Amino acid sequence: MAEAQVEIISKVTIKPVSPTPNHLKNFQISLLDEIAAPPSFYVPVVLFYSASNQDFPAMSQKLKSSLSQILTSYYPFCGRIKRNKSNYIVDCNDEGVLYLEARVPSKLSDFLNNNTSQQLNEIIEFLPIDPYKPKLDDDDEDRLIMAVQVTEFGCGGMAIGVCISHKVCDGTTVATFLQAWSQKAMGEGSEVASSSLSLNMEASLLFPPKGIEIDFNNMIGEKNITTKRFLFSENSLCRLKEEISRGWGFKPTRVEAVTTLIWKSALEAAKTIETSHKSGSFMLHIVNIRGRMLPPLLENSLGNLFVSAISPLFEVDKETTVELQDLVEVVRKTIRMVDGNFVSKLQGDGQELVEILESMKQKLHVAAKQSVPCYCFSSWVRFGFYETNFGWGKPTWVCTVRAPIRNAILFMPTSSEDGGIEAWVTLNERHMLQFQNNPLLLQFASFVP
């Protein structure tokens, strides 16, 4: 397939259908928002839809109208991020969401069937901005929060690309927003739709901001890294879970199992390439804390309500063979470390909070300054993206874009909805050559070149 020639045909601003009340004009960012990501990062998602019996102008108008309606509930998305002394706030000024319409002459099927690195490179054409290097008119201290691009394919198919500031929300928030937006489009403001769109915005009360910032620059960079996709079917995940449980005694979850296999394969690739006698790494997993709090929060709670759970340093000798069972225990303990008691410490002001933040900073410092890899995992497999129906069916494929972050691994659900996983793996190019040919990995995953 030739390179996608996406042409922008219109650019407008969508504002909420009714103004935000004065008492809601200042939205406070929480502690977890402060330490989540740089203020310039956006959470990107693209949903692809097959052709329907509706024409593009009518579908785009429906998206605009329902977006304007749902933004009255998600009013921070219409505002602008501003610096307030040592912290960021959202000025909920109703300046609106950037909305682009675009077209591409090629067929959606041609794009979806092009399972190569070219496809990964082209995905960004369906987003309104580069989520990691946005070129905006806004000043860095007065930054756009949300942008949308709706692209029509020559066959009548459609792509909806959404970018929402990572300083305001996490992947869970983006997923619940898309579900709420699609419900509004389907319900056209009915009581049933409206009753399911209430939003919890208490994060800054539960996790008061501290004016803390974490330097992510040492983890970010595009030099000599590459992203590949590895597909795990439901059947292969069952086999992998059985393989791990045979020597462990417990059956891992599918996310634990894939995390373990990818971490093992990455460690072996690093051992092959690097010359030091010992090799080791940290494993970081993003853990959604909404259901782990006491009492639990609803999934539609706005913000970066996750914790970056980081394992102890895992070291191995060059001659040592790392077993799946060795790593899966570390994976499970690290993820399950984030429980109600752990989260309550983040809500305090005492020494326990200081120790948690200092431990995180120290591990990231070791990873950066001593060249110890930190493999960062995040799972979006339960976000329900494939249920996002605006009135012309469910999406054919939902994806994100490659991240310029070394050793980042993102899990997406497969389009077949069979319980499979797409693993988006970003590694050093030399490490990737070893990783993608790992015999054990290829027993369970199919590699997309």
Do 119 and 192 sit in the same domain of this protein?
A: yes
Pair (173, 125) in one structural domain: yes
Tell me, yes or no, whether 392 lies in a domain. Answer: no
Considering only 83-92, 121-130, 168-177, 211-220, which range has the smallest mean pLDDT? 211-220
DSSP-assigned letter for residue 124 = G
| Interstrand relation of 408-413 and 374-379 (parallel, antiparallel or unpaired) | parallel
- Under the banding of pLDDT at 50, 70 and 90, the label for residue 193 is very low
If asked whether residues 60 and 105 sit together in one domain, one would say yes
Q: Which of 62-71, 355-364, 384-393 is least confident?
A: 355-364
Does residue 191 sit in the same domain as residue 261? Answer: no
Tell me whether residue 77 is in a domain: yes
Instruction: Report CA-CA distances (Å) from 81 to 43, 140, 146, 164.
Output: 15, 9, 11, 12
**349 and 378 together in one domain:** yes
Cα–Cα distance for residue pair 304/165, rounded to 1 Å: 10
Query: Are residues 34 and 96 part of one domain?
Result: yes
Task: Provide the domain count of the chain.
Answer: 2
Among 206, 233, 254, the domain boundary falls at 206
Please enumerate in sequence order all residues whose Cβ is within 8 A of that of 393, keeping only pairs 6 or more positions apart, or say none: 49, 50, 52
What are 337's two structure tokens?
A: 């470390």
Alpha-carbon distance 47 to 162, whole Å? Answer: 9
| Domain match, 76 and 166 both | yes
Same domain, 227 and 202: no
Among the listed residues 124, 120, 134, the one whose alpha carbon sits nearest the alpha carbon of residue 38: 134
For residue 213, being part of any structural domain is answered with: no
Share of the chain above pLDDT 70, in %: 90
Which residues on adjacent β-strands are paired with residue 427? 226
Q: Taking each helix axis from N to C terminus, what angle separates 234-246 and 324-336, rounded to the nearest 10 degrees?
A: 100
User: Distance between CA atoms of 435 and 272, rounded to whole angstroms?
Assistant: 10
Exposed, middle or buried, 306 (CB in 10 Å: 0-12/13-18/19+)? buried
| Of 177, 206, 235, the domain-final residue | 206
Report the distance separating Cα 94 and Cα 401, nearest Å: 28
DSSP character for 301?
Answer: B
Stretch 213-229: mean pLDDT: 76
Last residue of a domain, one of 149, 176, 206: 206
Tell me, yes or no, whether 123 lies in a domain. Answer: yes
Range of the domain at 69: 7-206
> Do residue 307 and residue 169 come from a single domain?
no
Q: What is the number of residues in the chain? A: 449
Does residue 381 sit in helix, strand or coil?
coil
Structural domain includes residue 214: no
Cα gap 249→124, rounded to integer Å: 43
Whether 285 maps to a domain, the answer reads yes
Do both 193 and 315 map to the same domain?
Answer: no
The whole-angstrom separation of Cα 71 and Cα 66 is 9
Alpha carbons 35 and 315: distance in angstroms, whole number: 27
On whether both 235 and 191 belong to a single domain, the answer is no
Strand partners, 413: 421
In a domain, 147, yes or no: yes
- How many percent of the chain have pLDDT more than 90? 66
Q: Is the pTM of this model over 0.85?
A: yes
The values of phi and psi at residue 414, to 5°, are -80, 155
Whether 170 and 232 share a structural domain: no
Average pLDDT for 11-19: 97
User: What pLDDT score was predicted for residue 194?
Assistant: 45
Q: What are phi and psi of 79, to 5 degrees?
A: -90, -160
Q: Beta strand pairing status for 158-165 and 146-153?
A: antiparallel
The whole-angstrom separation of Cα 50 and Cα 115 is 17
pLDDT tens column, 230-284: 999 999 999 999 999 997 888 999 999 999 999 999 999 988 887 665 678 999 9
Least confident of 9-18, 144-153, 268-277, 389-398: 268-277
Confidence band for 1, pLDDT divided at 50, 70 and 90? very low
On whether residue 100 sits in a domain, the answer given is yes
Comparing 145-149, 191-195, 395-399, 441-445, the range with the smallest average pLDDT is 191-195
3-state secondary structure of 337: coil
Lowest mean pLDDT across 39-43, 116-120, 369-373: 369-373
Rounded (5°) CA angle 327-285-216: 125
Q: What share of the chain is helix, strand, coil (3-state, %, to 5)?
A: 35, 25, 40
- Token look-up 């060795």 returns 326
The reported pLDDT for the residue numbered 189 is 46
CATH number of the domain where residue 425 is located:
3.30.559.10
Interval 387-416: pLDDT, tens: 999 999 999 999 999 988 889 999 999 987
Residue 192 is predicted with a pLDDT of 40
